[in-house]
Amino acid sequence: SFTSAFLFSIEVQVTIGFGGRMMTEECPLAITVLILQNIVGLIINAVMLGCIFMKTAQAHRRAETLIFSRQAVIAVRNGKLCFMFRVGDLRKSMIISASVRIQVVRKTTTPEGEVIPIHQVDIPVDNPIESNNIFLVAPLIICHVIDKRSPLYDISAADLALQDLELIVILEGVVETTGITTQARTSYIAEEILWGHRFVPIVTEEEGVYAVDYSKFGNTVKVAAPRCSARELDEKPSIL
C-alpha cells in the first residue's frame, strides 16, 4: 500500500528499521510521531552543524586576540626617525603568512584646488624579509622609517599636534587551525603618537625559555630624540 511504501521510504532516508519493522501502516498516530521526530532530528542536526561551522569560520573571533599598543611612538632607530607600534598575539595557535600594512588618511588639496577629504597613502614597513611576512611568535615592534617616501617626512614634534591625520594599521594572516584568512585593524591619530618615546622590553629569557610580560605591553619610556622633522635631520645629521 501507499502507507507501507511511505514508511519504507522514511526508513531508507533516515536509515532506521532495517532488519524488522515494528511500526505498521495500521497505526496513523505512530506514523505521525515518527515523521515529527525525523523532522525535529533533522533540524537539530542542521542547527548543530551550523553552530560548529560558524564557530570555526568566524574570523573576527580570531582577530580579537590580535592586540595592538594603544599608542604609537616616534623615536630614533639606527640614526633615523621611525614611527613604531607594537603588535602581539594572545593565542598559542600561529597566524601564518602574517603581513602588516600602514596607510595614512588625511585631508589634502591638489594643485588644481580639488579637496580630497579622505586621501589614503600607503607607507612602507621596515622589514628585512623580502616577502614582507612577519613571524608573530612573540610581540613585535613594527617600524616605519620616516624617509623621503613617508608622508611624515616634513612633520616635526611641534607640527604633529596640529596635523589632522590618522594612521591605519592592518594586519592580515591565515589562521593555522582553520586556514581562514583573518584581519585585525587599528588606527592612531596625532594625539595617540608619542614623540621621543620607546617601548619597554617585555620579552625575557631565563635558562633558554622565553617569557612575555603582557602587563607592560603598551608601556613606553622617554628617550632622547630630536624634535625636528626627518627632513631637517637628513639635512643636518649633526643634530643627533
pLDDT digits (tens, 9 = 90+) for 183-237: 889 999 989 999 999 999 998 888 888 888 889 999 999 999 898 988 898 888 8
Q: What pLDDT band is residue 5 in, cutting at 50, 70 and 90?
A: confident
Is the domain of 229 the same as that of 118?
A: yes
Q: Are residues 80 and 175 in the same domain?
A: yes
| 195, 96: one domain | yes
pTM as predicted: 0.72
On whether both 137 and 46 belong to a single domain, the answer is: no
Tell me, yes or no, whether 52 and 22 share the same domain: yes
Q: What is the DSSP letter of 41?
A: H
Strand partners, 66: 89
Q: What residue numbers bound the domain in which 88 lies?
A: 58-233
Helix (H, G, I), strand (E, B) or coil at 233: helix
Question: Read out DSSP for 122-186?
Answer: EE----SSTT-EE--SS-EEEEEE-STTSTTTT--HHHHTT--EEEEEEEEEEETTT--EEEEEE
CATH number at residue 9: 1.10.287.70
C-alpha cell read off for 176: 593555522
- CATH label of the domain that carries residue 162: 2.60.40.1400
